Amino acid sequence: MPDAGARLRAEVERAARAAFAGLLDARPAADAADYCGYALYSDAGAMTVCCAANTVPHLARLWAEDPTDADYYEWTPAEWAMEGVAAEQFASICRRLRAERPDAGDARFRTFRDTVYEACVAALESLVAEGAFGPGTDHVVVFAVSDPDDLDPAREAEWIRRLNPPARADRFARWRGTAPVRP
């Protein structure tokens, strides 16, 4: 049902806008530049939508502790400074998803899950387009699945491409091993 996907996207976008604006508004203007990552994420069962944000000092600390996994720390919201922040913005969405979710064995489950994921990516895409994360490209924007069972890395790379400048998306694709080989 296409209306359900559009409605969910609008709800996720509204919740994400409020969550990220709240994060930015809670800090002095000079500190807003400290943010280097913004994410929405769900789970393999598509029962939740959550947000996360990362800061430059937190990322720098992780890179200093483990420079060999720099890309992992940059792109993985579970490692970010603020994971699951502003959960209250997404509470009604999560309750509805849990109530409406078909059983994982149900043929409708894949469509349901894909609709949830697409709603999150499209909501982030809209926020990027309107400049909700601030000017410039000194931050990453991510949609992630917290416990992916069968997530295709190429699909993940496509989400990142939709949400980030080309050079950053190419770097992500190389890290995930989905970059096209160029002559």
Confidence at residue 126, expressed as pLDDT on a 0 to 100 scale = 97
Per-domain residue ranges for the chain?
A: 2-176
Q: Which residues have a Cβ under 8 Å from the Cβ of 175 and sit 6 or more positions away?
A: 71, 72, 75
- CB-based contact 55:45 (threshold 8 Å): no
Residue, of 136 and 181, whose pLDDT is higher: 136
pTM over 0.95: no
What share of the chain in percent tops pLDDT 90? 72
Confidence at residue 150, expressed as pLDDT on a 0 to 100 scale = 75
- CB-based contact 4:118 (threshold 8 Å): no
pLDDT in tens, 35-89: 899 999 999 999 999 999 999 999 999 999 999 999 999 999 999 999 888 999 9
Residue, of 96 and 29, whose pLDDT is higher: 96
